[in-house]
DNA sequence: CTCGGTTTCGACGGAGTATTGAAACCCCGG
DNA sequence: CCGGGGTTTCAATACTCCGTCGAAACCGAG
């Protein structure tokens, strides 16, 4: 479904169990996303993942060099939703505080919708900066956008003066910490997301500004707030001849 | 399994490498704390831990039934510092907002001083509620104390009205999310802790109350609060044929 | 000296990751 | 029709880690 064109042909030894249905790489990643959410990343074995797509354990290594490469391929998506979110919000004409409120709420909700634990990602990705280079780049980009948003708000006098970078990291850490507790409770995720957004914005508003006004503006301006569920495959040059 | 007051006598087969120095159980836990911090919990193997205390890998199972029991023994400490902190703070005569500020700052600093990743704990402890029962009990107690503190502040009109339980969880999640990023940077931990405390308190203050006043009161009332944890050097030893 | 309790070890089975060489299939040129 | 070459899959294997088991090594009491 990722590539509407069908450029590549496939031949090769048939599978013992289960027939190939589509692009094996995409199927593996989809199954991995499912299993990571159900069992946790560390607890998901290559055997289990292979069985899920109808392959033998060792056959996975034809598509991915290692188990961690599967993780990395999935993890790379973790930042794209927040990045797209802050981009979309930045282009609106809302006040900075309302933008911040919408971002925090959307970020928490997006994190809670992830099939895996974002904190687990950070530990794994921190140990192997090389393999997760793309993740860290996008993470840095996200930090810059958010810091820039905070500076705008301070310049406009709507936010009280704080250290933009430190506050950025704090906000993102708060969002991630919340995901820890509400990832498995989609019902309460929105409620928690709003609570975090309220706390964050109220904590940053300059005197004389009302949280209620910001909330109203945030909710009113988010007529169109989508949470894309698509999980498109990404092409990571993997196979070896 | 050691009665803390009684130093039991010891006999038994001598170790091949390394001599017993003190209580093996305590030594294992100390080494585990060190290794968990250096390598991460999941990445610390029983062989490595055994080598650290001069034992063979299988000998660890004389003191602990499983690897997870080592984790659980260490993890039990994670909540006692915050619990003691909120108890001590509750008994002071400071305003609720100042108490909250002191707690959040102290909690973040205490979490950052832990030798392991608190979020990793939550994942592991969540999977095995049985084995980590004590941990979850103390965690629940901590939540009750903090919620009660929030209710006091709202009743006194110093904090704006919010859902106490939801806000409690949000605050604790924020603290834990921050630990993720500052655990390995003791230098910047205090700075980050204050930033989180500022953001939290400012986000909860009722209109007409000033964060600056609360900060002043918080700093003034905390003569000496934190007990830093020693973090001794490690020795890399990897020579094997 | 022998017996029993305590502590340690070595060997092993089970499970996970990753590598390797070969098998099974298709297509294409002769 | 036949055989080479590319593609995909598998089985076998090496290595690591966890946890168990039986026995070894030491000590003190009888």
Q: Give the pLDDT score at A97.
A: 97
Note whether residue B66 is domain-resident. yes
The verdict on a CB contact (< 8 Å) between B202 and A160 is yes
Contact B111, B178 (CB under 8 A): yes
B158 and B99 in a common domain: yes
B173 to chain A: which residues are within 8 Å by CB?
A: 174, 177-178, 180-181
| DSSP code, position A15 | P
B107 touches chain A (CB under 8 A): no
Same domain as B210, residue B106? yes
| B133 and B226 both lie in a single domain | yes
Are A142 and A84 a contacting pair, CB within 8 Å? no
Distance between CA A152 and CA A159 in Å, rounded? Answer: 9
CA A79/CA A139 separation, integer angstroms: 6
The distance of B216 to chain A (nearest Cα, Å) reads 17
The verdict on B110 touching A (C-beta cutoff 8 Å) is: no
Give residue A9's pLDDT.
52
**Looking at the DSSP assignment, which residues form a beta bridge with residue B159?**
B205
Q: Is residue B19 part of a domain?
A: no
Q: End of a domain among B74, B90, B109?
A: B74
A218 to chain B, minimum CA–CA distance in Å?
17
Q: What is the CA radius of gyration of chain A?
A: 21
Please state the length of chain B.
Answer: 241
Q: Does residue A83 share a domain with residue A47?
A: no
Which positions of strand C lie within 7 Å of protein CB atoms? Answer: 4-12, 15-27
How many other β-carbons are positioned within 10 Å of the β-carbon of residue B12? 7
**Angle, vertex CA A151, rays to CA A146 and CA A156, nearest 5:** 130
One domain for residues B64 and B96: no
Same domain, A189 and A208: yes
Give the whole-angstrom CA distance, residue B237 versus residue B91. Answer: 48
Tell me how far apart the alpha carbons of residues A98 and A197 are, in angstroms, rounded to a whole number: 10
| A215 vs B203: CA distance, rounded Å | 13
Measure CB to CB from residue A195 to each of B167, B176, B191 and give the nearest one: B167
Q: Is B186 helix (H, G, I), strand (E, B) or coil?
A: helix
What's the 3-state SS for A98-123?
Answer: HHHHHHHHHHHHHHHHCCCCHHHHHH
Whether B107 contacts B82, CB under 8 Å = yes
Report how many domains make up chain B: 2
Mean pLDDT of chain A: 87
* d(C-alpha B112, C-alpha B184), whole Å: 8
Q: Are B218 and B197 in contact, with CB atoms under 8 Å apart?
A: yes
Pull the structure tokens for residue A153. Answer: 């708000």
Interatomic CA distance for residues A231 and A33, integer angstroms:
9
Q: Which of A61-75, A217-231, B183-197 has the lowest mean pLDDT?
A: A217-231
Is the CB of residue B42 less than 8 Å away from at least one CB of chain A? yes
Q: Give B151-183 pLDDT, tens digit per residue.
A: 999 999 999 999 999 999 999 999 999 998 998
Q: How many CB atoms lie within 10 A of CB A200?
A: 27
Per-residue pLDDT tens digits for A169-205: 999 999 999 998 898 888 999 999 999 999 999 999 9
Residue A15 lies in a domain: no
Gap from B60 CA to D27 C1', Å: 21
A13 CB and strand C closer than 7 A: yes
Is A134 (CB) below 7 Å from strand C?
no
Q: Is A34 a residue whose pLDDT tops 90? A: yes
Question: For chain B, which residues score pLDDT lower than 70?
Answer: 1-10, 223-241
In a domain, B16, yes or no: no
Q: Could you tell me if A235 lies within 8 Å of chain B, comparing CB atoms?
A: no
Supply the CATH number for residue B32's domain. 1.10.10.60
Of the candidates B181, B146, B159, B151, the residue with the CA atom closest to the CA atom of residue A202: B159
Residue B199 to residue B203: CA distance in whole angstroms:
6
Q: Tell me the CA end-to-end span of chain A in Å, nearest whole number.
A: 25
Residue A169 counted as domain residue: yes
Q: Give me the pLDDT at residue A162, please.
A: 96
B88 and B204 fall within a common domain:
yes
Nearest to A49 by CA among A63, A70, A28: A28
Q: Is the pLDDT of residue A5 over 80?
A: no
A129 touches strand C (CB under 7 A): no
Distance, in Å, from the CA atom of B221 to the CA atom of A232, rounded to the nearest integer, reads 54
Q: What is the pLDDT of residue A95?
A: 96
- What confidence score (pLDDT) does residue B183 get? 87
B181 in reach of chain A (CB within 8 A)? yes
A66 closest CA partner among A117, A128, A112, A151: A128
Please give the Cα distance from B35 to B117 (Å, whole number): 12
To test the contact with chain B by mutation, choose from A119, A200, A206 the residue with the greatest count of B C-beta atoms within 10 A, namely: A119
A4 has a pLDDT exceeding 60: no
Q: What's the CATH code of the domain at B170?
A: 1.10.357.10
Residue A176: per-residue pLDDT: 94
Q: Are residues B82 and B69 part of one domain?
A: no
Cα torsion angle, B46, B51, B57, B63, sign = negative
Whether residue A39 is predicted with pLDDT greater than 80 in this model: the reply is yes
Q: Of A40 and B159, which is predicted with more confidence?
A: B159
**A16 lies in some domain:** no
Range of the domain at A229: 78-238
Please choose, from the candidates A85, A112, A111, the residue with its C-alpha nearest in 3D space to the C-alpha of residue A99. A85
Question: Is residue B200 assigned to a domain?
Answer: yes
Residue range B6-43, pLDDT digits in tens: 444 568 899 988 777 789 999 999 999 999 988 888 88
**pLDDT at residue number B223:** 57
Does residue A100 share a domain with residue A70? no
Residues B208 and B114 in one domain: yes
Residue A174: its pLDDT value, please? Answer: 93
Please give the pLDDT value at position B12. Answer: 87
Q: Which nucleotides of D are covered by protein (CB under 7 A)?
A: 5-13, 16-28
Gap between the Cα atoms of A7 and B159, Å rounded? 62
Nearest nucleic acid nucleotide to B43, CA to C1' distance:
D17
Residue B2 lies in a domain: no
Task: Judge if B117 and B69 occupy the same domain.
Answer: no
Alpha-carbon gap, residue B45 to B62, rounded angstroms: 16
Domain boundary residue among B10, B44, B74? B74
Which residues surround strand D, with CB < 7 Å?
A 8, 10-17, 20, 24, 50, 54-59, 62, 239, 241; B 11-14, 44-48, 57-58, 61, 65-68
In this complex, the nucleotide whose C1' atom is nearest to the CA atom of residue B20 is: C7
Interface probe, candidates B105, B129, B174, chain A, greatest A C-beta count within 10 A:
B174
Q: For residues A88 and A64, state if they share a domain.
A: no
């Amino acid at each position: 479904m990722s590539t509407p064109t069908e450029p590549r042909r496939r031949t090769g030894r048939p599978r013992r169990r289960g027939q190939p249905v589509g692009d094996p790489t995409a199927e593996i990643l989809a199954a991995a996303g499912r299993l990571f959410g159900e069992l946790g990343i560390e607890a998901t074995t290559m055997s289990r993942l292979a069985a899920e797509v109808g392959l033998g354990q060792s056959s996975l290594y034809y598509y991915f060099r290692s188990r961690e490469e599967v993780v990395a391929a999935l993890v790379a998506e973790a930042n794209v939703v927040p990045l797209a979110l802050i981009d979309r919000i930045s282009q609106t004409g809302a006040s900075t505080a309302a933008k911040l409120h919408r971002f925090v709420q959307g970020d928490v909700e997006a994190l809670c919708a992830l099939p895996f634990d974002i904190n687990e990602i950070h530990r794994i990705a921190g140990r192997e900066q090389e393999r997760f280079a793309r993740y860290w780049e996008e993470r840095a980009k996200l930090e810059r956008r958010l810091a820039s948003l905070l500076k705008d708000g301070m310049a406009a006098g709507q936010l009280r003066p704080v250290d933009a970078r430190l506050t950025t990291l704090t906000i993102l850490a708060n969002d991630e910490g919340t995901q820890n507790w509400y990832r498995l409770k989609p019902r309460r995720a929105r409620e928690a997301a709003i609570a975090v957004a309220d706390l964050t914005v109220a904590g940053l508003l300059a005197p004389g500004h009302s949280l209620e006004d910001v909330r109203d503006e945030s909710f009113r301006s988010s007529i169109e707030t989508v949470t894309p569920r698509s999980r498109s495959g990404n092409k990571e040059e993997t196979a070896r001849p």
